[in-house]
Amino acid sequence: MAADKMKRVPIKEQDPKVRATNFDEVCLGYTKEEAIKEASRCLNCKKPMCVTKCPVSINIPGFISKIKEEKFDEAAKIIAQSSALPAVCGRVCPQESQCEGKCVLGIKGEAISIGKLERFVADWSRENNVDLSERKPANGIKVAVIGSGPSGLTCAGDLAKLGYDVTIFEALHKAGGVLVYGIPEFRLPKDTVVQHEVDNVKKLGVKIETDVIIGRTITIDDLFEEEGFKAVFIGSGAGLPRFMGIPGENLNGVFSANEFLTRNNLMKAFKDDYDTPIKVGAKVAVVGGGNVAMDAARTALRLGAEVHIVYRRSESELPARAEEVHHAKEEGIQFNLLTNPIEVLGNEKGWVKGIRCIRMELGEPDASGRRRPIEIKGSEFDLDVDTVIMSLGTSPNPLISSTTKGLDINKKRCIIAEDETGKTSRDGVYAGGDAVTGAATVILAMEAGKKAAKAIDEYLKK
Amino acid sequence: MYKIVDKKTLAPNIFSMDIEAPRVAKSCLPGQFVIVRIDEKGERIPLTICDYDAQKGTVKIVFQTLGKSTKEMAEFEVGEYFSDFVGPLGQPSDLTKESEEELKKKNIIFVAGGVGTAPVYPQVKWLNAHGVKADVIVGCKSKDYLLFEDELKKVSGNLYITTDDGSYGYKGFVTDKLKELIDKEGKKYNHAVVIGPMIMMKFLSKLTKEYGIETVVSLNPIMVDGTGMCGACRVTVGGEVKFACVDGPEFDGHLVNFDESMRRQTMYKTEEGREILKKEEGDTFHRKGCTCGGDK
C-alpha cells in the first residue's frame, strides 16, 4: 500500500495510432473514482510548496481535500478564487516545472497530478453547471481590456468580480486569443472547454466586443476621451511571427506556424464544411522545437502528412513540454535534431521541393544558459519535403504601441510595464502577458492579468 | 453582426454593398481595407474600402464574384447581416499624410483596372476634398464593366476611359493610354497610383519607371487575419519581406517583386476551384487522402 502511494493514478489517453487520425482530445481525464484516489495521495502539507510555484497561487491542498471529500463544487469554488481558466490551465500549464515540480511526493515518488485534478474539477463543474459568478455590487466605473487571451480574460474577470464595468476588445472574430487560434483542438477542445471558460467570464458581467482592432478601429486615446473608460489593460499578446530570413522562404508551401494553426484551429480548415482552405503536403518539415512547433507538427500529421521536426539544438534543449514531445513521438513525428535549415528549395513553379540543412554541434552555453549550436562545416544535406512550417517564435505586434501616445516599449517591441502592477509609462494604462514579456506561457499571462487587476482597482480607488 | 443597408449590381458579377459598421466608418481613410466573414463557417475575405460615411456609420465595399465566398456574399440582401466586418486595416494612403501644399506640387495620375476602380475612387475623392484634382485612367473589359464613371467625373481632373474591346472610350490597354497622354498630349505626371490586377500593376510600374514617375501600387495577396499575426500576405519589396496587411497594402511599385506575388496568389487556386465544384456539383470528392498537391 505504501509503495502504491508513491505512484500516480494513471491517466487514460487515446491510442496513439487512432488519435493520429483525429482531432479529438488526446488525454481523456480522470473519472470521479480515479480523481478521488489520486487526491487521497496528497499529504496536505502545512507549508504547501506546490502553492508557491503556482503563478496564481491556487489553494492546492484546499481544493484537493475537497475532492477527497467528494465535494467537487466546493473544490471548484476554491479554485475560482484564484483562477478564471482552470479547465485550460489544468490542460496546458507546464506543471512539471511549476506546482508539481515542488510537490513533496515528487522527491521519492511521483508528484500529485495537480493539473489533472484541477482539470477534473473544472470539467465536473462545467458538466454540473456550478455557478461561479459571485461578485461585488456594480460600481459603474468603466475599464477597457484589450485582447481576450488568458491575461485579458483573467484581468477582466477579476475586475468584474470587484464590481467594475468591463469591456474586452478583441481583434479577431472569436474570443480566447491563443486558446482559440493557437493551441489545437486535440490538446484543448474549443467548443466545450474554451467557450465555456469565456462564457464564465461573461457571466461575471464582462462585455466582449469582437472585430475591434485597437490602433485601427479605435485608439486607446479615444477609449479615454470619447468612451469614458477610466483605465485600460493591454493584453494583446505576441502574435507577430518570426521568419528565418533564408533564401526561398517566400516559396509556395512555406507557412508560419501562426498561419497554419490559425487556419486549422480558428477557421477550422480541417472540417469539410468550413470555407477556409489549408494546404498540407505529403511530407512536412516543422522548423523549431517549442510547444507551437509540436502543435503544428501534430496538426500536420492529423491532416495526413509525414512530419519532421527540424531543430538546431539537441533533445534536452527542446523548449516544448516533455509531455508534448512524448505525445509527438508516440504519434510518429520524426525528430531531426542538431539540424538547421539554410535554404528552402523550390521547383520550377515556385513550390517547395525540399530544404537544405546543415548539421550542428553544441558549443559553450550562451546568454540564455543553453549550449550554443555551431554549424559543422561541409555537413549540408537536403531533406525532401513539400511543405515547411516556420515555428521560430513570435514578438508583440507594434500596432498598439505605435498608435498610443506616451506608451514606452523596449527594443524587442515589448511594452514596458512594472512587474508587480503592470503599470506602464502612460497613466491609467496597464499591460501584461506576452505583450510585455514576449512569448511565454498561459499561466504567466494569467498571473500578469491578476496583478494588473489588483493594481487597477487600487489606482481607481485613489 | 453587421447589417447590409444597401446593395447594388454595378456590372455583371460586380456588386456594391453599404454595411452598417459605425466604429469602422469613423476611422476609415483612403487606401485601407476591411475583412468580412459572412457566417460561422465562412472564411475571412479582405476587401478594399470604396467609400464611407462616418455620420451614417456605413462603409461601402465593392466585390466581384470569383470564388465560393464572394458568390455566397452576393446572395445576401439588404436587411441581412454579415457575421464579421473588421477594420479599417492596413496603412492609409501616403497621400493622406501629406499637407495640401505638398500635394499641390504633385501632378498625380491614377490608373485603375477593373474592380480596382473601387479603391481608386475614395482616394481621388479625398484629394478633391483637399483641393487637388488628379487625372484618372480607368481600364475595363467593355462598357458594361465600367464602374463609378459619374462619381469619378465629379472629383477628378480628367477622366480617361479605356476598354479592351473599344465599346466605350479609348480602345486598348491602360498602359497604351498613359503612353499616349505623356508622349502625344504632353502630360507631365510625377506621381502615379495604380490599382488593379497584379499583372496590370506589374506592367504599369515597368512603364512608369521608364518615364521616371514615382509609383504606388496596392497589393492584394492572400490574407487570413489581416492584423499581422500570420504572414500569409507577405510580399518582397526592395528585397525585404513585408506583410501587406500591416505594412501595406500600398507599396512602391518599382520595388515590388510582382512575379513572386502572382505565384503566391495561386497557392489555393485548386482549393477554391474545388469549393465551387462542390457547391455546383455536390460532394463528389473528399479533401482527406488527396495528396496530388494541386497545381504544383
Tell me which of 3.40.50.1820, 3.40.50.2000, 3.30.300.30, 3.50.50.60 is the CATH number of domain A243-392.
Answer: 3.50.50.60
Amino acid code (one letter) for A109: G
Across the interface, do A241 and B260 touch by the CB < 8 Å criterion?
no
Nearest to B230 among A216, A258, A272 (CB): A258
Across the interface, do A347 and B296 touch by the CB < 8 Å criterion?
yes
Question: What is the chain B residue with the closest CA to A258?
Answer: B230
- pLDDT, mean of residues A365-375: 85
Across the interface, do A212 and B241 touch by the CB < 8 Å criterion?
no
**Chain A positions in Cβ-Cβ contact with residue B236 (cut-off 8 Å):** 250
**Chain A positions in Cβ-Cβ contact with residue B232 (cut-off 8 Å):** 255-256, 259
Query: Which of residues 19 through 48 in chain A touch B, CB cutoff 8 A?
Result: none
Q: Quick one: which of B234, B232, B231, B238 has its CA closest to B257?
A: B238
- pLDDT at position A5: 80
Alpha-carbon distance of A222 to A215, in angstroms, equals 10
User: From edge to edge, which strands make up the β-sheet containing B2-11?
Assistant: B81-82, B2-11, B14-20, B58-64, B45-53, B33-37, B84-89
CA distance B118 to chain A (A): 21
C-alpha cell at A24: 479529438
10 Å Cβ neighbour count for B134? 26
| Digit-coded pLDDT (tens) for A282-317 | 999 999 999 999 999 999 999 999 999 999 999 989
Q: What kind and span of H or E run contains A424?
A: none
What's the mean pLDDT when you consider all of chain A?
93
Which of A2-11, A369-378, A452-461, B268-277 has the lowest average pLDDT?
B268-277
**B167 neighbors B143 (Cβ within 8 angstroms):** yes
**Chain A positions in Cβ-Cβ contact with residue B264 (cut-off 8 Å):** 250, 252
Question: What is the chain A residue with the closest CA to B42?
Answer: A275
**Chain B positions in Cβ-Cβ contact with residue A210 (cut-off 8 Å):** 84
CA atoms within 13 A on the CB side of B138: 28
Chain B contact present for A212, CB below 8 A: yes
Across the interface, do A241 and B230 touch by the CB < 8 Å criterion?
yes
CA distance A137 to chain B (A): 30
CATH homologous superfamily, domain A142-239+395-461: FAD/NAD(P)-binding domain (3.50.50.60)
- pLDDT at position A29: 95
CA distances from A360 to A256, A285, A311, A377, B164 (A): 23, 17, 10, 9, 58
**Chain B positions in Cβ-Cβ contact with residue A250 (cut-off 8 Å):** 234, 236, 241, 260, 264
Residue A339 has what DSSP assignment?
Answer: E
Alpha-carbon distance of B284 to B290, in angstroms, equals 13
Give the DSSP letter string of B67-131: SHHHHHHHT--TT-EESEEEEEESPPPGGGGS-HHHHHT--EEEEEEGGGHHHHHHHHHHHHHTT
- pLDDT at position A167: 98
CA distances from A81 to A92, A158, A169, A349, A399 (A): 20, 9, 24, 58, 34
- pLDDT, mean of residues A435-446: 92
- pLDDT, mean of residues A37-52: 95
Across the interface, do A171 and B227 touch by the CB < 8 Å criterion?
yes
Across the interface, do A262 and B234 touch by the CB < 8 Å criterion?
no
- pLDDT at position B295: 34
- pLDDT averaged over consecutive 10-residue blocks of chain B (296 residues)? 96 94 95 94 92 96 89 95 95 91 92 93 95 94 92 95 92 92 92 94 95 94 89 92 92 94 82 58 39 34
How many whole angstroms from its chain centre is CA A432?
14
Nearest to B87 among A210, A217, A386 (CB): A217
CA distance B179 to chain A (A): 33
C-alpha cell at B76: 445576401
Query: Which of residues 342 through 401 in chain A touch B, CB cutoff 8 A?
Result: 347, 349-351, 386, 394, 397, 399
CA dihedral over B248, B251, B257, B258, signed as positive or negative: positive
Amino acid code (one letter) for B58: T
**A308 neighbors A296 (Cβ within 8 angstroms):** no
Q: What kind and span of H or E run contains A346?
A: strand A339-346
CA gyration radius, chain B: 19
- pLDDT, mean of residues A105-113: 94
CA distance B261 to chain A (A): 9
**A362 neighbors A340 (Cβ within 8 angstroms):** no
Domain ranges of chain A: 3-127, 142-239+395-461, 243-392
- pLDDT at position B280: 53
Across the interface, do A252 and B88 touch by the CB < 8 Å criterion?
no
Alpha-carbon distance of A324 to A91, in angstroms, equals 11
pLDDT band at A84 (very low <50, low <70, confident <90, very high): confident
**Chain A positions in Cβ-Cβ contact with residue B69 (cut-off 8 Å):** 275
- pLDDT at position B296: 30
- pLDDT at position B289: 35
- Only one residue has cell 480628367, namely B158
CA gyration radius, chain A: 23
Query: What is the pTM (predicted TM-score) of this model?
Result: 0.91
One fold for both A142-239+395-461 and A243-392? yes
Q: Quick one: which of A450, A462, A397, A437 has its CA closest to A152?
A: A450
- pLDDT at position A399: 87
pLDDT band at A1 (very low <50, low <70, confident <90, very high): very low
- pLDDT at position A133: 79
| Digit-coded pLDDT (tens) for A172-200 | 999 999 999 999 999 999 988 999 989 99
- pLDDT at position A65: 96
Nearest to A218 among B23, B42, B260 (CB): B23
What percentage of chain A has pLDDT greater than the value 70?
Answer: 99
Instruction: Determine the topology of domain A3-127 in CATH.
Output: Fumarate Reductase Iron-sulfur Protein; Chain B, domain 2 (1.10.1060)
Alpha-carbon distance of B158 to A272, in angstroms, equals 50
- pLDDT at position A132: 82
